[in-house]
Amino acid sequence: MDWSIVLKSALALGGCGIGIAILLLIASIKLAVKVDEREAAVRAALPGANCGACGFPGCDGYAAAVASGKAPPNACTVGGPAVAGEVGRIMGLESTAAEAPVAVLICRGGLAEAPRRFHYEGTYNCRQAALLLGGPKGCVYGCVGMGHCVGVCPVRAITMGADGLPDIDEAKCIGCGVCVRDCPKQVIRLLRRPKLVYLACASHDRGKAVKSVCQVGCIACGVCVKNCPAGALTLVDNLPVMDEAKCIDCGICVHKCPTGSFVDRAKGRPQAIIHKNCTGCTLCATKACRFKAIEGEPKQQHRVIAEKCIGCGECIKVCPVDAISMVGALGHAERLT
């Protein structure tokens, strides 16, 4: 029995083992990364959905950013006020919760309004179909309608409608933005929840080019721009761009648009009513109302035609005797008076 081989192999293998062990020991000390306990505490307080709504790469990324002071404690929209409060408490900061936006579809061209120009026989997925000549729909800017967003929504807030357009449940939507990111046509966007009116078309074509492929697409006629009382709309690249700071959600653009390309999220609209102190100056009927919803003889009590009134509130602004007020839905009264 050659003991020298046993000795040599024991030394060699043992030496390698000890060498590696020492190397790793030194490395674990010298290359140690300091772990911030606050980062760990913040990470534990987060919901862990890793949705990215905060704008950081996952909950780990956000926790690291908060701990290093680069992020506010209330950026987690999924966690809401509870998480914002907890994170603020850990970091010793005040915080109020940020309100989660809601995802909306900026396309109204379903199977009926925007017919397909060819029959697509391929993988039934928007991202795949969009690769083939821009998709089977006549309008290449619009929603492909094969439900990719339905599949990626982490809270199952999206379902496919019978009209070929996805239906986003606003109550379930947490505003994480995954559908926005994944849509191949980029026709989903995040809207601040208080905002009620938005443009639901993404087509950069105009006039006949749009009309030939979609009944409800924006033809860039500019009527909305002309009629906006707040001057919030400008036509850029054949689409009206809304300045959300100026927009008062009056809804005039929704009703003036010849193709119905705007969407009003409000569940109901208020109505104007004219009180008994009306002097009959006809300012409201002639100068303010764009929808011919006020009738009345000069010097006589005017009245609002309920079916035509859209609740925009322009008449209230011009009445010299404050004879008009809004009645009805959903907080519009506060905005418009």
Partner 1 sequence: MNPTKIFLGAFLVNNILLMRFIALCSFFGVSTSINTSVGMSAAVIFVTLLAAWVSWVLYHALLAPLGLVFLRTAVFILVIAGLVQFVELFLKRYVRALYSAMGIYLPLITTNCAILAVTFLNIDYGYNLLQSTIYALGVAAGYALAIILFAAIRERLEDSPISQSFRGYPIAFVGASLISLAFLGFASLFGITL
Of residues 127 through 186, those in contact with partner 1 by CB under 8 A are 128
Pick 20 or 305: Cβ nearer partner 1: 20
Q: Is 35 in the site for partner 1 (CB under 8 A)?
A: no
Among 125, 238, 282, 325, indicate the residue that binds partner 1 (CB under 8 A): 125
Pick 143 or 293: Cβ nearer partner 1: 143
Among 94, 96, 124, 258, indicate the residue that binds partner 1 (CB under 8 A): 124
User: Min. distance of Cβ 20 from partner 1 in angstroms?
Assistant: 4
Q: Is 18 in the site for partner 1 (CB under 8 A)?
A: no
Q: Is 207 in the site for partner 1 (CB under 8 A)?
A: no
The rounded distance, in Å, linking the Cα atoms of 67 and 219 is 49
Taking each continuous run of H as one helix and of E as one strand, the counts in the chain are 13, 12
Q: Is 70 in the site for partner 1 (CB under 8 A)?
A: no
What SS3 class is residue 324?
strand
Contacting range for partner 1; rule: CB under 8 A; set: 28-36, 132-140, 218-226, 258-266: 28-36
Q: Is 306 in the site for partner 1 (CB under 8 A)?
A: no
Residue with tokens 């506060």: 334
The rounded distance, in Å, linking the Cα atoms of 68 and 336 is 43
Site string for partner 1, 43-62 (x = CB under 8 A): --------------x-----
Cα angle, residue 242 at apex, residues 319 and 273 outer, rounded to 5°: 25
Q: Which residues sit opposite 156 in a β-bridge?
A: none
Pick 20 or 327: Cβ nearer partner 1: 20
Give yes or no for a contact between 96 and 85, defined as CB atoms under 8 angstroms apart. no
Strands 294-295 and 303-304: antiparallel
Give yes or no for a contact between 145 and 164, defined as CB atoms under 8 angstroms apart. yes
Residue type, 46: L
Q: Which residues sit opposite 262 in a β-bridge?
A: 199
Pick 132 or 236: Cβ nearer partner 1: 132
Distance between start and end Cα atoms, the chain: 104
Contacting range for partner 1; rule: CB under 8 A; set: 11-19, 161-169, 288-296, 321-329: 11-19
Residue type, 149: C
Residues of the shown chain interacting with partner 1 in the complex, contacts defined by CB under 8 A: 5, 8-9, 12-13, 16-17, 20, 23-24, 27-28, 31-33, 57, 123-125, 128
